Amino acid sequence: MMVIFHPTILIHVLMKTVNLQFNEEKTIEHLVHHLPSQLTLKDFVHHNSLHNFQDKEFFEGIFSASKIFGIQVTFNLNEYRKLHRQGRIRTDIINQVITNKKGVSHLEAFKQKMLEHPYKHTYNPRIGKLRANWKKQYKIDLENLVQPLLFRIIGSYLDQGIAIWHFPFEEKGLINALKILEQKSLTSFFKTKKAKRLLLSDDLSIEKLLKILVGNESYYENYLFDQQFSHKGWSGLVSAIEGTPETLFYRKKVHLKDFILLELLLEYDALEKTLGNHWEPLATDYPIEAEDYFAPIEFGEMEEVLQLWQEAFEWDYYDEVLAGVAKLAESKRHIQNVETSFQAIFCVDDRECSLRRHLEYIDPMCETLGAPGFYGAAIYFQPYKAQFYEKNCPVALTPKHLIKEIEISKKRDHEVIHSKNSHTFFKGFLYSMSLGLWAGFRLFRDLFNPKMQPDIADAFSHMDVKGKLLIENQDPNHIENGLQVGYTIEEMVDIVSSLLKGIGLVDKYAPIVYVVAHGSSSANNPHHGAHDCGACSGRPGAINARVFAYMANHLKVRAILAKKGLIIPEHTQFLPAMHDTSSDEVGYYDQEILSSENARHHQLHIDTFENALGLNAKERARRFASIDISKDIKHIRNEIKKRSVSYFEPRPELGHGTNALCHVGSREKIKGLFLDRRAFLQSYDYRSDPNGDVLLQVLSPLPNVCGGINLEYYFSRMDNEKMGAGTKLPHNVMGLIGVANSSDGDLRPGLPLQMIENHDPVRLLMMVEHTPEIVLKTIKSSQAMYDWFDKKWLHLVAISPEDGKLYYFCDGKFERYNPLLKITTTSDILGVIETAGEMKSNHILDATKENISVQIYSDKI
């Protein structure tokens, strides 16, 4: 009798009874929850690809996803074992992981299981089982018969500007538009009259169609899951657009419900056409009871072993990092007596980690800081004469302000190759006859002397470099589409003070504080948004940097700030800039505001930046096979720049590949620690925040932004085919909203192979410089944030400034962590970079070898 009250079984029973009755709304809600939520590619924002399992503990969540959807969520045993054999997973780490998880007494038993025990892999996802019976029972391949036309219709319907002839009546909604088309046209999308009649019937509903196709109500939900997950790309996009219609400039009215209706109708049509009267609803005599796809799953020993392996894979790296951090934490903090030459605030982005290191290397007197790259300015941006707004802030925020560009210095060029006219008949003839030879010439020019073109995504063209912005609100009633145009002085004060306090920049101002945003230029790259600033909804962040600098320079703002105790010296000026992470160039904005003395300083700092960019380019180039890094820096920079404008280069940059760490604390404390561009760096000064109030504000965007990036890379790497977009090379742009592989293929959300191939899929290790008590108190103050750490989607370590020791967060409390490894030191970090190996293939066994181990470099610190 005890068994009945076992909670999982109870849930099981409950869910089954619920399932028996079909509730359309609930089922659709359930579907939307599980479908990919990626928006159109122009709004590429990183997010946890398995957000639908985030209510579970990490491993339980991912293994459930694996069993339900048939995705790979870890490497396979063989790969882990090989990683162990080649030294990537150390034995002492394996011992430590087993001891921590299973207890010392089980050490040998589990070690044997991990290293030797044979396990049989099975592939038997729950989703898809029911609908597979069409083929089994009737030898009919419904997917082949339905999907090509279905994708064509929805693709044409949502198309933003590839087709010359648009889908008519799109303002009426998908099903209504189809109804008008079917009524008025002399032809039909359907092969049978019956299907057409069904479409036009008054009581058309999902339930009615399911009754015809499936028959038995208890299977309806499963059937819809099978159906929609056989093409989760399109279904996901439809539901994402339904939720966020502004992701399309050319708005389309679309509902997942309509899309399902259309698919059911096409299925009915195909069955009628192929089988005539010789078919019955699928579940008429279905022998197996309706299964609850999302019922708890019993995991076997293999999952246990895989979990141990993955943890060992992660801890092997974390241990190395923590050894370095611990060593530096013990050392005395540098106290700067000399005056700072300049300060530069960068985005927390892991790609800025190396540029900051090189700046500090070249000019030891400078100070670099990190903050999320929208710099507190959550805005919509309207470029000059643009018809739409672009969101430039983290995706979770809803801006209330609009920043308008009111003057520009140069016009945008056109690219005739992409003209729609080239696809019409007579003009197409004229185009090919007149441009054909020129295209041939261009092809060779692009190959041997690539240059910036109008159709290359240029980070610096997002906003005119010399354009004028309307930043200060003139009149509180100046509102456009519900958005206030510009910021009031009071709002500016809030933004400036909270950002500066957050990063601990409250005194010792240098004459120039650079606010360095970042963006990325790349050619022939539909995923270019994934390379831009994640804190700016996948767009270049220059606009935000300019807005912030304007605020911080504003005299009225400074006056109020001074009253509140935040004194920015009069001679200090904030200068906006942007780093192109792909071409490794920095552009400066509004330089004319500089005082003559600062302008002089600025000229010197430009050289510092240029030199640092040279070293940065060299460090990045070590991972690019096409560049020989033994050559001089000028050559390397030139090559790097070429990559960013080469149509033939699917890897203009490697994005966030290899990201693994996030440090929240003072830069001084980890200066001299070589992290190989793998760390998000957020500045924070615990000394000015004994209670952790500022910490909460600093921490709160990080799990979503950094964790989202990290987990998207994790899953895209573990299963690049089902969770990622696969290789980019065959990608075909669909409707300007996404990419598919084939003319008849499903959309491919997720990251392409070329972005994740050098990534070691480990969860993000977040290191916060404060006492464990304060960190615990801080994360507990927000349930959402607490769950990220408690459920292990992110790791958390507190670097206690009191004793210089490390504390790892586990099972609701912080425990001491003593690194096993002794950290290596080097006196020549550039030499280490130059001699690092290059991966032979993009298989993890090769790829992981390319990473340089953590080391402390002693020179210049």
Partner 1 sequence: MNSLLPILLLVPLVSLLVGFSFSNKNEKAIYRTSIISILVNFVTIISLTSYWITHDFEYIIFKGPTLYHSSEIDFSLNLFIDGYSLAYIFVATLLTGAIIVFSKNYIHREKGYKRFFNNLKFFYLGLMLVLLADNLEILFVGWEVLGVTSFFLIGFYRERYLPVKNALKVVSLYRVADIALLLGIWITHHYFGHSISFSNFEGLQNTESHVLNDAFYHFMIPSVFLIAAMVKSAQFPFSSWLPRAMEGPTTSSAIFYGSLSVHIGVFLLIRTAPFWENNLWFHFLIGGIGLITCVLATLTSRVQSSIKTQIAYSSIAQIGFMFIEVALGLYWFAIIHFTCNALFRSYQLLVSPSVLSYRIHEQLFHFIPPAAQKTEGLWNRIKLSIYVLSIKEFNLDIFMFRYLWSPLKTIGNSFKFVKSRTLIYSMAPLFILGLYTVYNQDILSLFMLKHLPEIFAGLGLMLILKSFVERDSSMVSWILIVVNQLFLSLAFGFNEEFDFNQIHIFLSGILVAGILGIWILNRLKIRGEDISLNQFHGHSYEYPRLAFLFIICCLAIAGFPITPTFIGEDLMLGHIHENQFPLLILVVLNLILDGLVIFRIYSRLFLGEHKKGYHEFAYRSS
Interface of this chain with partner 1, residues 644 to 663, rule: CB under 8 A:
646-651
Stretch in the footprint of partner 1 (CB under 8 A) among 47-55, 107-115, 602-610, 724-732: 724-732
Tell me the closest approach of the beta carbon of residue 447 to partner 1, in angstroms. 5
Of the residues 6, 85, 106, 412, which one makes contact with partner 1 according to CB under 8 A = 412
368 binds partner 1 (CB under 8 A): no
Question: For 514, phi and psi rounded to 5 degrees?
Answer: -80, 135
78 binds partner 1 (CB under 8 A): yes
Bridge pairing between strands 661-665 and 765-769: parallel
Cα separation, 854 vs 317, in Å, equals 9
Binding residues among 110-129 for partner 1 as defined by CB under 8 A: 121-124
Contact (Cβ atoms closer than 8 angstroms) between residue 545 and residue 471: no
Cα separation, 343 vs 511, in Å, equals 8
Nearest to 550 by CA among 469, 663, 655, 646: 469
For the chain, the first-to-last Cα distance in angstroms comes to 69
Of the residues 6, 33, 166, 687, which one makes contact with partner 1 according to CB under 8 A = 166
Tell me the closest approach of the beta carbon of residue 524 to partner 1, in angstroms. 4
729 binds partner 1 (CB under 8 A): yes
Nearest to 231 by CA among 136, 134, 132, 143: 143
Of the residues 205, 630, 742, 858, which one makes contact with partner 1 according to CB under 8 A = 742
Nearest to 134 by CA among 289, 287, 279: 279
Residue type, 480: E
Q: Which residue(s) pair with 343 in the sheet?
A: 367, 513
Cα separation, 410 vs 395, in Å, equals 30
- The tokens describing 149, both together, are 């036309």
410 binds partner 1 (CB under 8 A): no
Tell me the closest approach of the beta carbon of residue 167 to partner 1, in angstroms. 8
Tell me the closest approach of the beta carbon of residue 540 to partner 1, in angstroms. 12
- The tokens describing 853, both together, are 């181990």
481 binds partner 1 (CB under 8 A): no
Tell me the closest approach of the beta carbon of residue 649 to partner 1, in angstroms. 6
189 binds partner 1 (CB under 8 A): yes
Of the residues 226, 363, 746, 790, which one makes contact with partner 1 according to CB under 8 A = 746
Binding residues among 823-852 for partner 1 as defined by CB under 8 A: 840-842
337 binds partner 1 (CB under 8 A): no
Cα separation, 237 vs 255, in Å, equals 10
Tell me the closest approach of the beta carbon of residue 632 to partner 1, in angstroms. 22
Contacts of 167 (CB under 8 A, 6+ apart): 156, 157, 159, 177
Of the residues 15, 107, 175, 181, which one makes contact with partner 1 according to CB under 8 A = 181
Of the residues 84, 404, 731, 763, which one makes contact with partner 1 according to CB under 8 A = 731
Tell me the closest approach of the beta carbon of residue 391 to partner 1, in angstroms. 13
137 binds partner 1 (CB under 8 A): no
Contact (Cβ atoms closer than 8 angstroms) between residue 249 and residue 388: yes
Stretch in the footprint of partner 1 (CB under 8 A) among 141-149, 215-223, 534-542, 667-675: 141-149
Q: Running DSSP on this structure, what letter comes out for residue 522?
A: B
Tell me the closest approach of the beta carbon of residue 140 to partner 1, in angstroms. 13
Of the residues 62, 711, 718, 751, which one makes contact with partner 1 according to CB under 8 A = 718
Contact (Cβ atoms closer than 8 angstroms) between residue 853 and residue 320: yes
Binding residues among 435-464 for partner 1 as defined by CB under 8 A: 435-437, 439-440, 442-444, 447, 454-457
278 binds partner 1 (CB under 8 A): no
Nearest to 259 by CA among 282, 283, 237: 237
390 binds partner 1 (CB under 8 A): yes
Cα separation, 636 vs 633, in Å, equals 5
CA distances from 48 to 88, 103, 127, 181, 751 (A): 26, 32, 21, 39, 12
160 binds partner 1 (CB under 8 A): yes
106 binds partner 1 (CB under 8 A): no
Tell me the closest approach of the beta carbon of residue 422 to partner 1, in angstroms. 7
Stretch in the footprint of partner 1 (CB under 8 A) among 101-109, 213-221, 643-651, 685-693: 643-651
Binding residues among 570-629 for partner 1 as defined by CB under 8 A: 625-626
Binding residues among 494-533 for partner 1 as defined by CB under 8 A: 523-526, 528
Q: Please report the sign of the dihedral spanned by the C-alpha atoms of residue 536, residue 542, residue 546, residue 548.
A: positive
Nearer to partner 1, 333 or 388 (CB): 388
| Three-state secondary-structure class, residue 31 | helix
Contact (Cβ atoms closer than 8 angstroms) between residue 514 and residue 577: yes
727 binds partner 1 (CB under 8 A): yes
Q: Running DSSP on this structure, what letter comes out for residue 840?
A: S
Across the chain, how many H-helices and E-strands are there?
A: 31, 22
| Three-state secondary-structure class, residue 344 | strand
Tell me the closest approach of the beta carbon of residue 94 to partner 1, in angstroms. 21
Binding residues among 222-241 for partner 1 as defined by CB under 8 A: 230-233
299 binds partner 1 (CB under 8 A): no
Binding residues among 19-48 for partner 1 as defined by CB under 8 A: 41-42
68 binds partner 1 (CB under 8 A): no
What does the CA dihedral 274, 276, 281, 283 come to, rounded to 10 degrees? -50
Of the residues 296, 364, 428, 801, which one makes contact with partner 1 according to CB under 8 A = 428
Tell me the closest approach of the beta carbon of residue 185 to partner 1, in angstroms. 4
- The tokens describing 755, both together, are 């972005």
Q: Which residue(s) pair with 355 in the sheet?
A: none
104 binds partner 1 (CB under 8 A): no
Tell me the closest approach of the beta carbon of residue 582 to partner 1, in angstroms. 13
Cα separation, 479 vs 497, in Å, equals 25
Residues in the chain: 861
Residue type, 488: T
429 binds partner 1 (CB under 8 A): yes
Of the residues 668, 721, 773, 787, which one makes contact with partner 1 according to CB under 8 A = 721
Nearer to partner 1, 153 or 290 (CB): 153
Of the residues 16, 24, 57, 76, which one makes contact with partner 1 according to CB under 8 A = 76
Contact (Cβ atoms closer than 8 angstroms) between residue 749 and residue 233: yes
164 binds partner 1 (CB under 8 A): yes
- The tokens describing 603, both together, are 């000229």
Nearer to partner 1, 246 or 815 (CB): 246
CA distances from 32 to 27, 69, 71, 292, 605 (A): 9, 15, 18, 17, 51
153 binds partner 1 (CB under 8 A): yes
DSSP string computed for 406-419: EE-SSPPP--GGG-
Contacts of 220 (CB under 8 A, 6+ apart): 22, 27, 207, 210, 214
Nearer to partner 1, 419 or 572 (CB): 419
Contact (Cβ atoms closer than 8 angstroms) between residue 661 and residue 321: yes
The CB-based long-range contact list for 474-479 (8 Å cut-off, 24+ gap) reads none
Of the residues 54, 72, 192, 853, which one makes contact with partner 1 according to CB under 8 A = 72
Stretch in the footprint of partner 1 (CB under 8 A) among 71-79, 92-100, 800-808, 829-837: 71-79
Of the residues 733, 815, 816, 834, which one makes contact with partner 1 according to CB under 8 A = 733
Nearer to partner 1, 232 or 501 (CB): 232
Of the residues 2, 425, 482, 783, which one makes contact with partner 1 according to CB under 8 A = 425
How many amino acids of this chain bind partner 1 (CB under 8 A)? 120
Stretch in the footprint of partner 1 (CB under 8 A) among 20-28, 413-421, 480-488, 804-812: 413-421
